[in-house]
Amino acid sequence: MDNQKLKEKVLSFVPNAEVEENKQYLIVTVTPELLHNLAKKLKEDPETDFSYLFCQTGVDYGDSLGVVYHLESVKFRHSIVLKTKTTNRDNPQMASVYDLWKAAEYHEREIFDLLGITFKNHPDLRRFFLDESWGYPLRKDYVDSTNIIEK
Burial class (CB in 10 A: 0-12, 13-18, 19+), 90: exposed
Q: Does residue 87 belong to the site contacting another protein (CB under 8 A)?
A: no
Nearest to 51 by CA among 42, 60, 59: 42
User: Do residues 39 and 33 touch, judged by C-beta distance below 8 A?
Assistant: no
Alpha-carbon separation of residue 19 from 6, 7, 32, 76, 125 (angstroms):
10, 7, 15, 21, 31
Q: Does residue 120 belong to the site contacting another protein (CB under 8 A)?
A: no
Q: Residue 12 CB, nearest distance to another protein (Å)?
A: 25
Q: How many CB atoms lie within 10 A of CB 43?
A: 19
Judged by CB under 8 A, the residue of 2, 16, 74, 143 near another protein is 74
- Measured from the CB atom, the residue of 15 and 46 that comes closer to another protein is 46
- Measured from the CB atom, the residue of 34 and 137 that comes closer to another protein is 137
Judged by CB under 8 A, the residue of 11, 12, 21, 54 near another protein is 54
Q: Residue 92 CB, nearest distance to another protein (Å)?
A: 16
Judged by CB under 8 A, the residue of 19, 52, 89, 118 near another protein is 52
Q: Does residue 76 belong to the site contacting another protein (CB under 8 A)?
A: no
What is residue 5's three-state secondary structure? helix
Q: Does residue 9 belong to the site contacting another protein (CB under 8 A)?
A: no
Given phi > 0 = left and psi -120 to 50 = alpha, else beta, which region is 124? beta
Judged by CB under 8 A, the residue of 25, 31, 89, 118 near another protein is 25
